[in-house]
Chains A and B, each alone.
Chain A
């Protein structure tokens, strides 16, 4: 019994193991550094005459508005990824349905219509919360199915119609308010979506890092069984993550519908993948339990800038999709590899 050594042999060198504050700041700052590089690249392309109108106030306002919409949706999606459940693929149809319901109900007044729209979005989130959180359905397959069901409902009920605010019966002021969701600007600069994005970013960051829920989400996302064995109600924690994602998607749905002035099934198309891309290049790993909301917003900025520059260059939509897909694969690959080289094959 007394023969074995008392000192561990594999004493690790703590210098290599620390995930300290500084490295975390560098990680988050990194994505904003990339955003700055994109701006520099855009400026160089413009000075070379490859693109025009990049370095203009108008263009930057466009970029920021687009980033705001994506940033809001991605900030919500980040909670699902952080919880270890990859992504909520029902985001696009949640956005579309929220918009459609809101426009349909505008004649009851602006506030009731918006609340009803958000409620419908949250309802989809609640179903996801129960099915994935409690019944442990595979999140990707389930939310994909949910997306199809919602799309079916939209097409069945509204028979492919696009829903316009009805100028005949709706109050003109109500319509103006709805249009204003996207168009209202404080001091003629900061739009409501940008304000909402900043609010979501601060609130999301606070929730993740400074609340009991955030600490429980981190534990659940890192090791679900361990969380359960620590007295955490993992079902509830995961469910709330899906509710947050659905709420963010619903807000995004209001903005995109206000932008296009029409409620339609195709509003939100592609936002699930764009949001996950922002989440992942923003530093939230697909394995869960790691990353920051501020990083995710940075990821949204990078995507917004990239889209803008590609469009200005004249790259087609399909090619853009291809490039975004390639970047996603690259980032996930690098992430997996760097984690594996640290001896953790759980990226």
Chain B
């Protein structure tokens, strides 16, 4: 670590970024020195990604000042960021598939001889960059023939090709096995020794302790603290991420929990989740907690008939569900609110009314005639009940704010009066006002004797709402926690594979 060196490789001074309805990053100071790995941690929505997107040149309207090697720079476009030596490695790989390793690595600055690509120079440059990340492969291999781990290293080599002085890695290990993670860490270590300033974003606290020199914790768009990793314990970091006890934020109404409504036995979808047992009761909000990639959404898709299970049984009120297709499940009152609002949840080009009614189209029928006037009072009640704004049902969906879009998405599923409602990240990326309204509606639904299965990475949400929480890890339920056992700390540690006391 080089904290005594005079200038930071990167210094962000009171930077901020607003989105409609929220302040994503609020006057944050952040500095990284050459030769250090600096971990950036925080819950979902804490502002880590926004801060890094700012650095990558994704926004031209951020506030505050960014200095690179002591020099004030403006990072308004990705190419400006690249020019100033910022290299980004995202969770999803950005490699072009049918072409070779070498072409991927050197894409963007292909060596030329006249008008032709200089193949020899291309291969040499690719080889040089590959050797830095310890890849010993034929550079002419197409990307599709190499493993996920090797592809990740190709991605690193590609970014190194732009000679960055600052390297940002966003959850780089999410798709890697334990061995591969170790190898990646060795490479990160060697890059640190080469004097790069590395920002490492991760949910996995053990990795932070393994690789980082310092850590910055963010919460609600602000920086909580920056410390030497060696001076902290895991519990202290979690405490800083969480910051407060949330239970008192949720005024919890008493619910009576009844018989089992949805019972799942030994359910598997090969490669995604295995031997899952689950019992969701009448009047219950059952939380499902797990890191991304744990198989939560895949499970939800099977529970509502979007995908078929490879084995196992599902029962609703004691009756086996043996039909296929979502319509079959929907007709029995089982509904699913997707985590992908924009491409799976709403039709952004249609009106709010068309969107809310889209889940109950077959019911709006008088003889042969489809008549959406039959749904008018339903729409009016939902708009009022969820304070959807604008209130005019004919306004096109694309013109609603994120929070109101999410409320409309919930309204769409409430319209059908679901008996089992599966919510997948129901408040991701929405402002606090919408969040409170959505939570109230969910509690009301459960209070009326329906069943809610709440899949969420938002720990306060799970702790505040759920009667029980199932912890999912690598496609299995590994633990169950009652409302009393549930705290953000215990959930976070359990999802990370750390059993708390």
Interface residues of A (CB under 8 A from B): 1-12, 14, 17-20, 210-216, 218-219, 222-223, 225-233, 287, 289-290, 343-344, 346
A4 to B219, alpha carbons, bound, how many Å?
A: 12
Pick from A6, A222, A230 the residue with the most CB of B within 10 Å: A230
Minimal Cβ-Cβ distance residue in B for A223? B347
Pick from B330, B370, B394, B396 the residue with the most CB of A within 10 Å: B370
A210 to B272, alpha carbons, bound, how many Å?
A: 41
Of A4, A218, A289, which is within 8 A of B22 by CB? A4
Do B326 and A231 have beta carbons less than 8 Å apart? yes
Chain B residues whose C-beta falls within 8 Å of the C-beta of A219 in the assembled complex = 347, 350, 354, 358, 361
Do A212 and B326 have beta carbons less than 8 Å apart? no
Do A9 and B20 have beta carbons less than 8 Å apart? yes
Contact segment of B85-93, B138-146, B261-269, B398-406? B398-406
A4 to B402, alpha carbons, bound, how many Å?
A: 14
The answer, yes or no, to whether B64 is at the interface (CB within 8 Å) is no
Extra 11 A-B pairs, beta carbons < 8 Å, given A3-B220, A215-B370: A1-B460, A9-B401, A18-B394, A213-B370, A223-B343, A226-B345, A231-B325, A233-B325, A287-B349, A289-B349, A343-B398
A-B contact pairs, 8 of them (CB 8 A): A8-B21, A215-B370, A218-B350, A218-B354, A219-B361, A227-B358, A230-B358, A231-B329
A226 to B408, alpha carbons, bound, how many Å?
A: 14
Do B395 and A14 have beta carbons less than 8 Å apart? yes
* Among all A-B residue pairs, the 8 with the closest Cβ atoms: A6-B433, A223-B347, A10-B20, A8-B401, A231-B330, A222-B347, A231-B326, A4-B432
Of B329, B390, B396, B431, which is within 8 A of A4 by CB? B431
A1 to B358, alpha carbons, bound, how many Å?
A: 33
Interface string of B347-370 (1 = CB under 8 A from A): 111110010011101101100111
Chain B 256-311 residues near chain A, CB threshold 8 A:
306
Chain A residues whose C-beta falls within 8 Å of the C-beta of B432 in the assembled complex = 1-6
Do B404 and A8 have beta carbons less than 8 Å apart? yes
A-B contact count (CB 8 A): 146
A10 to B19, alpha carbons, bound, how many Å?
A: 9
A289 to B397, alpha carbons, bound, how many Å?
A: 14
Chain A residues whose C-beta falls within 8 Å of the C-beta of B20 in the assembled complex = 8-10
Q: How far is the CB of A343 from chain B (nearest CB, A)?
A: 7
Do B338 and A10 have beta carbons less than 8 Å apart? no
Q: How far is the CB of B483 from chain A (nearest CB, A)?
A: 19
Chain B residues whose C-beta falls within 8 Å of the C-beta of A215 in the assembled complex = 354, 357-358, 361, 364, 370, 372
Chain B residues whose C-beta falls within 8 Å of the C-beta of A231 in the assembled complex = 325-327, 329-330, 359
Q: How far is the CB of A35 from chain B (nearest CB, A)?
A: 28
Do A226 and B358 have beta carbons less than 8 Å apart? yes
| Secondary structure of the B contact surface, majority rule | mixed
Chain A residues whose C-beta falls within 8 Å of the C-beta of B346 in the assembled complex = 223, 226
Of B336, B350, B400, B433, which is within 8 A of A289 by CB? B350
A2 to B359, alpha carbons, bound, how many Å?
A: 33
Interface residues of B (CB under 8 A from A): 18, 20-23, 220, 244, 246, 249, 306, 325-327, 329-330, 336, 338, 343-351, 354, 357-359, 361-362, 364-365, 368-372, 389-390, 392, 394-396, 398-401, 403-404, 412, 431-433, 436, 460
Q: How far is the CB of A223 from chain B (nearest CB, A)?
A: 4
Of A3, A17, A225, A233, which is within 8 A of B396 by CB? A17
Minimal Cβ-Cβ distance residue in A for B20? A10
Minimal Cβ-Cβ distance residue in B for A343? B398
Do B395 and A12 have beta carbons less than 8 Å apart? yes
Q: How far is the CB of A182 from chain B (nearest CB, A)?
A: 32
Do A226 and B23 have beta carbons less than 8 Å apart? no
Of A5, A214, A223, A232, which is within 8 A of B21 by CB? A5
Chain B residues whose C-beta falls within 8 Å of the C-beta of A20 in the assembled complex = 394
Do B370 and A212 have beta carbons less than 8 Å apart? yes
A202 to B52, alpha carbons, bound, how many Å?
A: 56
Chain B residues whose C-beta falls within 8 Å of the C-beta of A3 in the assembled complex = 23, 220, 432
Pick from B358, B398, B401, B433 the residue with the most CB of A within 10 Å: B358
A18 to B351, alpha carbons, bound, how many Å?
A: 9
Do B359 and A230 have beta carbons less than 8 Å apart? yes
Minimal Cβ-Cβ distance residue in A for B401? A8
A9 to B403, alpha carbons, bound, how many Å?
A: 11
With A4-B22, A226-B347 known as contacts, the answer to whether A17 contacts B395 (CB < 8 A) is yes
A344 to B351, alpha carbons, bound, how many Å?
A: 14
A101 to B390, alpha carbons, bound, how many Å?
A: 57
With A4-B23, A230-B358 known as contacts, the answer to whether A18 contacts B392 (CB < 8 A) is yes
With A12-B399, A17-B396, A223-B349 known as contacts, the answer to whether A228 contacts B306 (CB < 8 A) is yes
Do A8 and B389 have beta carbons less than 8 Å apart? yes
Of B371, B396, B431, which is within 8 A of A5 by CB? B431
Do B306 and A229 have beta carbons less than 8 Å apart? yes
A71 to B139, alpha carbons, bound, how many Å?
A: 58
Do A211 and B368 have beta carbons less than 8 Å apart? yes
Q: How far is the CB of B223 from chain A (nearest CB, A)?
A: 14
A216 to B361, alpha carbons, bound, how many Å?
A: 7
Of A17, A210, A229, which is within 8 A of B399 by CB? A17
Chain A residues whose C-beta falls within 8 Å of the C-beta of B351 in the assembled complex = 19
With A12-B390, A14-B390 known as contacts, the answer to whether A290 contacts B326 (CB < 8 A) is no
Of A10, A229, A346, which is within 8 A of B349 by CB? A346
Do B349 and A222 have beta carbons less than 8 Å apart? yes
Minimal Cβ-Cβ distance residue in A for B437? A6
A290 to B18, alpha carbons, bound, how many Å?
A: 34
Q: How far is the CB of B432 from chain A (nearest CB, A)?
A: 4
Pick from A4, A20, A210, A226 the residue with the most CB of B within 10 Å: A226
Minimal Cβ-Cβ distance residue in A for B329? A231
Chain A residues whose C-beta falls within 8 Å of the C-beta of B330 in the assembled complex = 231
Chain B residues whose C-beta falls within 8 Å of the C-beta of A7 in the assembled complex = 433
A4 to B25, alpha carbons, bound, how many Å?
A: 11
Minimal Cβ-Cβ distance residue in A for B328? A231
Chain B residues whose C-beta falls within 8 Å of the C-beta of A210 in the assembled complex = 369-371
Chain B residues whose C-beta falls within 8 Å of the C-beta of A214 in the assembled complex = 370
Minimal Cβ-Cβ distance residue in B for A6? B433
With A223-B343, A343-B398 known as contacts, the answer to whether A1 contacts B249 (CB < 8 A) is yes
Minimal Cβ-Cβ distance residue in A for B394? A18
Do A211 and B404 have beta carbons less than 8 Å apart? no
A290 to B350, alpha carbons, bound, how many Å?
A: 9
Do A212 and B396 have beta carbons less than 8 Å apart? no
With A4-B431, A19-B351 known as contacts, the answer to whether A225 contacts B390 (CB < 8 A) is no
Chain A residues whose C-beta falls within 8 Å of the C-beta of B350 in the assembled complex = 218-219, 222-223, 289
Of A218, A229, A232, A344, which is within 8 A of B345 by CB? A229
Chain A residues whose C-beta falls within 8 Å of the C-beta of B18 in the assembled complex = 9
Minimal Cβ-Cβ distance residue in B for A222? B347
A287 to B404, alpha carbons, bound, how many Å?
A: 25
Chain B residues whose C-beta falls within 8 Å of the C-beta of A226 in the assembled complex = 343-347, 358
Minimal Cβ-Cβ distance residue in B for A211? B370
A6 to B244, alpha carbons, bound, how many Å?
A: 21
Minimal Cβ-Cβ distance residue in A for B243? A1
Pick from A3, A6, A18, A290 the residue with the most CB of B within 10 Å: A6
Q: How far is the CB of A27 from chain B (nearest CB, A)?
A: 15
Chain A residues whose C-beta falls within 8 Å of the C-beta of B359 in the assembled complex = 230-231
Chain A residues whose C-beta falls within 8 Å of the C-beta of B412 in the assembled complex = 230
A210 to B365, alpha carbons, bound, how many Å?
A: 9
A192 to B365, alpha carbons, bound, how many Å?
A: 33
A316 to B358, alpha carbons, bound, how many Å?
A: 49
Minimal Cβ-Cβ distance residue in A for B334? A231
A38 to B371, alpha carbons, bound, how many Å?
A: 37
Minimal Cβ-Cβ distance residue in A for B331? A231
